[in-house]
Each structure stands twice: as C-alpha cells, then as structure tokens.
Copies of this chain bind each other. A is one copy, B any other.
Amino acid sequence: MASQFKIRRKVEFVETDMAGIVHFSNFFRWMEACETAFYQSLGLPLISFNPGKVVGWPRVNVSCEYRAPFRYGDTVEVRLLVKEVRTRAVVYVFQFRKVVRGRPEAMVSARGEITAVCVKNDPESGQMISAPIPQTVRAKIKVAAEKSRAR
C-alpha cells in the first residue's frame, strides 16, 4: 500500500532554469502528478465529468518550502501524506527526497502542501460549487491516511 503514495521522477532538461536547478514552480506540477497517482491507487478519478458527480478538486491553498535544489538527471521521490480530511476539503503534505543509489536520502529537500476542495457541477447554474466529499471517496482517503500514519 505504501508504494501507492510515492512516485519517482527524473528531472527533465526543460524543468531546469538558467541557474542550473529545477525551477521552483515545477514542484507544484510534481505534487499534482503524485496526487493523481494516489487517487489512481485508490481507484478514484482525480477529475470526472459525470453530471452531478464530483468533477474536480481545485486548490484553495498551496505552499512549498525549498531546502536543497534538484538538478538535471536527479531522481526524486515525491511522497504524499494525507494531513487532514475535512467535510469539503483534503489537505496533503508532500515530501521531496533525492534518490541516491536507488534509495531516498533521509534529508527532505522540499516540503509542499496542497488544500484541495471538492467541487461538483451545479446543474441549475452550470457553475462549479463546493460540495461535501462523497462518503465512498472520504472512506478511501481516510483508510489511506490511517495506513500512512501507522507507518
């Protein structure tokens, strides 16, 4: 189960900037890729266009702390932890570690956080409105969260 909360990525050339390191904005792209993989591990779609259903998880708050840079060719482990499951939102924490000789370093090179709210399409207005997280989705995320804390 644990493996479903982690992804590995290799730093790509296009992700670097003229300072020779991964541009700070790309860490948010990686968090989202990890979140997608997490959802997939639970058998949940990150976004769904079925009418009246959960259609997405827009972000209301994101942040990232950078302690050590990543460079072209580095392999990075991104680890997702469920920090909090609210009625209409989930808070994720992400830890970024450099992988050296196949293993993630102890040191966390960067730490991110995303608060995503559950929204559905309102058939009347045609707008996206926030909605309570459906019970089945909540249950799956909570189980994952407990397993993750138990480790």
Q: Which residues of A contact B (CB under 8 A)?
A: 10, 12-14, 16-21, 23-26, 28-29, 32-33, 36, 45-47, 56, 58-67, 69, 71-73
Contacts and interface: CB of A to CB of B under 8 A. Distances in A.
Q: State the copy count for this chain.
A: 4
B46 A13 contact: yes
Given A19-B47, A28-B24, A29-B12, A62 B61 contact: no
Contacts of A10: 36
19 contacts: A12-B29, A12-B33, A13-B23, A13-B32, A13-B36, A14-B25, A14-B32, A16-B18, A17-B17, A24-B28, A24-B58, A25-B26, A25-B29, A60-B66, A61-B65, A61-B66, A62-B64, A63-B63, A63-B64
